[in-house]
Amino acid sequence: MELKSKCPSGPIETRWERHKFDLKLVNPANKRKFNIIVVGSGLAGGSASATLAELGYNVKCFCFQDSPRRAHSIAAQGGINAAKNYQNDGDSIYRLFYDTVKGGDFRARESNVYRLAQISVNIIDQCVAQGVPFAREYGGMLTNRSFGGAQVSRTFYARGQTGQQLLIGAYQALERQIGLGKVKMYPRTEMLDLVVIDGKARGIVVRNLITGKVETHLADAVVLGTGGYGNVFYLSTNAKGSNCTSIWRAYKRGAAMANPCYTQIHPTCIPVSGDYQSKLTLMSESLRNDGRIWAPKKQGDKRPANQIPEEERDYYLERRYPSFGNLVPRDVASRNAKTVCDEGRGAGGGLGVYLDFADAIKRLGKQAVKERYGNLFDMYERITGENPYELPMRIYPAIHYTMGGLWVDYNLMTTIPGLYTIGEANFSDHGANRLGASALMQGLADGYFVLPYTIGDYLATTKLEKVDNNHAAVKDAEAKVAQQTKRFLESKGKRTVSSFHRELGKIVWDDCGMARTKAGLEKAIKKIPELREEFWKTVSVLGSGEELNQSLENAGRVADFLEFGELMCRDALHRNESCGGHFREEFQTPEGEAQRNDDDYSYVAAWEYAGPDKTPILNKEPLTFDYVHPSQRSYK
Amino acid sequence: MKAMKLTLHIWRQKNAAQPGKMVPYTVEANEHMSFLEMLDVLNETLIEKGEEPVAFDHDCREGICGSCGFVINGIAHGPRPSTTVCQLHMRTFKDGDELYLEPWRAKAFPVVRDLVVDRSAFDRIIAAGGFVSVSTGSAPDGNAIPIPKKFADLAMDAAACIGCGACVAACPNAAAALFTGAKVSHLSLLPQGQPERTQRVLNMVGQVKQEMFGSCTNIGECEAVCPKEIKLEVIARMNRDYLRASWTDRGEAVRDDGI
C-alpha cells in the first residue's frame, strides 16, 4: 500500500491557498449530475452535507439516530478554538498552529494543522451568521476564554453547550437543504458495508432500523463522518450509540486505519459508581480554569473532603507544573490523577480526585461561579446527589476522544479512491493528543471548508462508470450483511451483547488505557480473540431482523469493537515510545513524563487489513517538521 | 448503597400497526443507578430469560441529545423538574414504588415500538423555515454585527431546546407550541434572523398544522415538564411574530424592530 499524503510544499502560509487553486473544479451546471453519500450528521457530516448541497451536488445523508440533530457532537460542552485574536493577547494563526502541533506531541502533519488554524477564523464567522448564540460582552462583541492548556483566550463558547449550538447551526443548514430537496435524509439508518467497484468507493449497504430492510445506495463518492471509537472501552463519555462500524467495515474493504492507539482520556469526568454503570459523564474542562485539583497527602484518607485541613491537601498539579498548574494538557492531567490514585491517595480512598471551587467562590462570589458553570454544577448534583457549591467535586479520567481513525491524505481521501473521511473519524489533525476546544474546530473545518473543495477535484478528474444494484460487488456486500444478521439471530447462546461489551471494555481499559506496557498489551492481544470466539458461540440476540431490534444493532457494533480493540492494542504494542495519549510505562523520563522516540517513531502508523484472523500490515507515512521543531513537551 | 425493588408497568407494543398494552415487571435497583441504567438491568434479565427487551430511545445519557424520554406516572421525563429521564436517578424513588411507563402520546408522534416514537415531525418544522439562509462562505466577520448581551442570552435560552418532545407529550392538546416557539424565538431575537423573520414564522407554523399537532391554549404543562426550562414567553413571542406576519406579509421582508 502506498501512502501519498499529497501535502503541498513551499511556504506553509500559502500551501492551502495554492493547493485550492491547483484543485480542478466541477462546472456549476455539472454539479447536479453528481451524487454524494454522507454517513453521519454531526458537526462534520452535517456541515459537509449542507455545504455540498449548497454547491449543487445531490446529497444523501445517513444517521442512525432518529434525527440528524442528535449526533454526538451535540454533547461537546466547552468551546471551539479560533485564531481571531479578538482579545488582543498575542494569538495568531501561527500560534494556534504551533500550539496544536506541540500539543499533539509532534505526531500530526504540519500542512494539515496550519490549514486548520487558518480556517478556524472562517468557522466562527459562518456560525455567527447562522445564528449560533455565542457568549458576548455587554458591548455586543464576542467573548473568549482560555481553555485546556492554552495561554491565550481563543475559545468561543455558548454557555456549557457549545457543541449543541454549533450542531444546531449545522443541522439547520442541513434541514434547509432537505427542504429544498437537495439533501435526502435517511435517519434511523445504519451503514453496514461499503461498496467498492473497480477499486473506487461507489456506495454503501444500509439497514433501515425501523423496518429492518437492507438496501444499497450508490453514488459517485462516499464521505464518512461517523465519529470516534471511544466506546471500544465500553465506559466512555461517548453516546451509547457511538460506534466504529462504518470505519471498521471500510477498513476491511481496503481503507488504512491510522494510529488507533492514540486515544484521549479526559481528566474531568464523574467517577464510576457501580457495575451497572452504562456510561461516564464528562464535566467540561473549563472547570479547571477556576477549580483547583487536589488529593489528600495521606494514603487511604477516608475523611470527607471538607474535613481534610488545608495543610493535608496536595494540589499536585500546581506543585508539579507551576507555570501551567491546573491547566496542563489533558494527557498530563489524567496521568497525574491516575498516579495519585495508584499511590492510594484517591478521594475517599477510591478512584477519584477533588476539584475544588471553594477558592473561586471566595474570590468571585457564588453568583459569578454560578454564571460560569451553573449548568455543569447542576448536572453534577443530579448525577451524584452532592452539592458542588459546598463539597468539592470528585473527578476521574475517562475515555473521551480518539485521535486515530481512517488514514486520509491532505484532501481527506482514504486509501480507497472516492472514500473520504472527516471529523473525528479520520486521524488527521490532532497527532497523538488533541487540545481542548479543537474537536469542534476540526469537524467544522473538514465539513464546511475543506471537503467541499477537495471532493470536486476527484469528481472532475475521475472517470466513473455507470453502476447499478445488480453489480457483483453490491450483491457480495449485501450477502455479507445478510449473513451476519442471520448468524446473530440463529445464535443459541444465553449471554447478552452488553456483557461482552463490558468485558472487552475492561480488557482494553486495563491494558490499553491510561498507561500501557508490553506485557499488558500482549495479554490483551491474546484475550480479545478468545472473547470474540466466545461472543460468536454464546451471544443471545432475540427477535427478528425485520423490525426495530436494538439488541441486533448493538450486536453488530460490539462485533466490530471486538475486532477493532485488537488492532488498537497491536498499534499500542508496536509503538515503542510514549507520546500524547499513548503512554507506555517503559518509555518515560526520570520525572515520569512521556518520552518520545523521534528517531524511530516519527511516522503515522497506517494499518492495512490482510484478511480474517491475519495479522494486519503496517505501513508508515514519515512525518517531517519544517516549522515547529520537535522538543520534549514541558509544562513545568 | 440502598437496594430497592420496584414494580414497573411498561407499555409494550410490537410496532405501529399492532395494538399495545401495559405489562408488569419487577426489577431490583439501587439508588445510584440512573433510570435508564435500571431499565438496562431489566433488559439484561429479560434477555437472559429469553424475553424480548423493552425498546426505548437514548443516546448521550447526559441530557443534551434529546433522544430519550417517556412518561413516568403521568409526567413526561418523570418527577424531577428540569431533568431528562437519562439524568433522573433512582434516589428520586423509594423501595416498593410502582411506576407506569408510557411513550409520548400524540397523533403527530406515532409509536414505533414500546417506548419509542417517531418525532420526525419536528425535523420537518425546522426544514420549513427554522434556519438562516446563509450558505457556507458568505458570512461577514463574527464581530461585524454587535449583539446586545441581553438578546444573545435570551436567544441562547430559547436555543437550549433539545427537541425531545416532552412539551408535546405533556400538552392536553398535543401542541408543539413550546418547541416551535423556542426555535422562532432563537432566530427572531438575533439580527441574523431578521431578513427571514416574517416568512419563517408563517412557514413553521404552517408546517405545525400540517403535522396534526393540536392548538396551544396556554395551559403551561409544556413549561412544567421542559427539561431545559424553556419559558412560555417563547410561545407569546411566536404568536406576536405570527400575528404581525399575517398582517404585514406581502411576500417580501418587512422592517421590524420589535422584540
Q: Report CA-CA distances (Å) from A360 to A153, A288, A363, A373, B122.
A: 19, 11, 5, 11, 41
**CB contacts, 8 Å: B127 with chain A:** 175-176, 178-179
CB interface of A with B, residues 55-114, below 8 Å = 65-70, 72, 74-75, 84, 86
| pLDDT for position B259 | 41
Q: Which domains does chain A have, with CATH numbers?
A: 266-400 (3.90.700.10), 472-601 (1.20.58.100)
Exposure letters A173-200 (e unless 16+ CB within 10 A, then b): bbbbbbbeebbbbbbbbbbbbbbbbeeb
**What is the rounded distance in angstroms from the CA atom of residue A249 to the CA atom of residue A194?**
7
**What is the rounded distance in angstroms from the CA atom of residue A221 to the CA atom of residue A215?**
17
pTM: 0.96
| pLDDT for position B251 | 58
Q: Which residue of B has its CA nearest to A371?
A: B153
- Of B176, B46, B67, the closest CA to residue B116 belongs to B67
**What is the rounded distance in angstroms from the CA atom of residue B28 to the CA atom of residue B205?**
45
DSSP character at residue B256: -
C-beta atoms of A550 and B53 within 8 A:
yes
| pLDDT for position A576 | 98
Amino acid at B118: D
Is residue B113 within 8 A of residue B13, CB to CB? The reply is: yes
Tell me how far apart the 2 most distant CA atoms of chain A are, in Å.
75
**CB contacts, 8 Å: B155 with chain A:** 131, 133
| pLDDT for position A411 | 98
**What is the rounded distance in angstroms from the CA atom of residue B255 to the CA atom of residue B248?**
10
CB interface of B with A, residues 216-255, below 8 Å = none
Confidence of residue B258 (pLDDT cuts 50, 70, 90): very low
CB interface of A with B, residues 224-243, below 8 Å = 239-241
B131-158 tens-digit pLDDT: 999 999 999 999 999 999 999 999 999 9
- Of A76, A172, A31, the closest CA to residue A460 belongs to A31
C-beta atoms of A494 and B134 within 8 A:
no
| pLDDT for position A149 | 67
- Please give the residue that has the higher pLDDT: either A328 or B191: B191
Residue written as grid cell 480542478: A24
- Which of A65, A133, A543 lies closest to B155 in CB terms? A133
Dihedral sign computed on CA atoms, order A234, A238, A240, A241: negative
CB interface of A with B, residues 380-399, below 8 Å = 382-383, 385
**What is the rounded distance in angstroms from the CA atom of residue B7 to the CA atom of residue B72?**
12
Is residue A428 within 8 A of residue A228, CB to CB? The reply is: no
C-beta atoms of A66 and B118 within 8 A:
yes
Residues recorded for chain B? 259
**What is the rounded distance in angstroms from the CA atom of residue A413 to the CA atom of residue B21?**
50
* CB proximity A175 to B under 8 Å: yes
Q: Could you report how far apart the first and last alpha carbons of chain B are, in Å?
A: 51
**What is the rounded distance in angstroms from the CA atom of residue B181 to the CA atom of residue B234?**
5
**What is the rounded distance in angstroms from the CA atom of residue A245 to the CA atom of residue A229?**
9
C-beta atoms of B57 and A66 within 8 A:
yes
Q: Which domains does chain B have, with CATH numbers?
A: 3-112 (3.10.20.30), 119-248 (1.10.1060.10)
Confidence of residue B254 (pLDDT cuts 50, 70, 90): very low
CA distance, residue B122 to nearest chain A CA (Å): 9
**What is the rounded distance in angstroms from the CA atom of residue A90 to the CA atom of residue A621?**
34
DSSP character at residue A385: S
User: For each successive 10 residues of chain A (636 residues), what is the average pLDDT?
Assistant: 96 98 96 98 98 98 98 94 97 97 95 98 98 97 86 93 97 98 98 98 98 97 98 97 98 98 94 90 88 95 93 96 88 90 90 95 94 87 92 94 98 98 97 93 98 98 96 97 96 93 96 96 98 97 95 98 98 97 94 91 98 96 96 76
> Across the strands, what pairs with A605?
A620
CB interface of A with B, residues 431-460, below 8 Å = 448-449, 452
A-B contacts at Cβ under 8 angstroms: 215
Q: Within 13 Å and on the Cβ side, how many CA atoms surround B11?
A: 25
**What is the rounded distance in angstroms from the CA atom of residue B72 to the CA atom of residue B68?**
12
**What is the rounded distance in angstroms from the CA atom of residue A342 to the CA atom of residue B108?**
54
Residues recorded for chain A? 636
Residue written as grid cell 463518492: A221
**What is the rounded distance in angstroms from the CA atom of residue A278 to the CA atom of residue A263?**
20
Exposure letters B211-223 (e unless 16+ CB within 10 A, then b): bebbebeeeebbb
Residue written as grid cell 427542504: A179
Q: Which residue of B has its CA nearest to A53?
A: B135
- Of A421, A419, A420, A418, the closest CA to residue A463 belongs to A418
Cα B253 off chain centre by? 30
Q: Which three cell numbers stand for residue A367?
A: 453568583
Q: Report CA-CA distances (Å) from A52 to A56, A75, A165, A226, B65.
A: 7, 25, 21, 17, 25
**CB contacts, 8 Å: B112 with chain A:** 210, 548
Is residue A546 within 8 A of residue A486, CB to CB? The reply is: no
For A325, other C-beta atoms within 10 Å of its C-beta total: 16
**CB contacts, 8 Å: A544 with chain B:** none
Name the phi and psi angles at B10, rounded to 5.
-115, 135
Q: Which residue of A has its CA nearest to B130?
A: A172
- Of B133, B255, B129, the closest CA to residue B200 belongs to B129
Is residue A80 within 8 A of residue A123, CB to CB? The reply is: yes
**What is the rounded distance in angstroms from the CA atom of residue B219 to the CA atom of residue A73?**
34
**CB contacts, 8 Å: B82 with chain A:** 378
- Which of A47, A70, A133 lies closest to B59 in CB terms? A70
- Which of B40, B66, B152 lies closest to A136 in CB terms? B152
- Say if strands A603-608 and A257-258 run parallel, antiparallel, or are unpaired: antiparallel
Q: How many helices (H) and strands (E) does chain B have?
A: 8, 7
Q: Spell out the residues 6+ positions from residue A262 whose beta carbon is closer than 8 angstroms to its own.
A: A107, A402, A403, A404, A427, A430, A431, A432, A433, A580, A581, A582
Q: Spell out the residues 6+ positions from residue B28 whose beta carbon is closer than 8 angstroms to its own.
A: B3, B4, B5, B6, B41
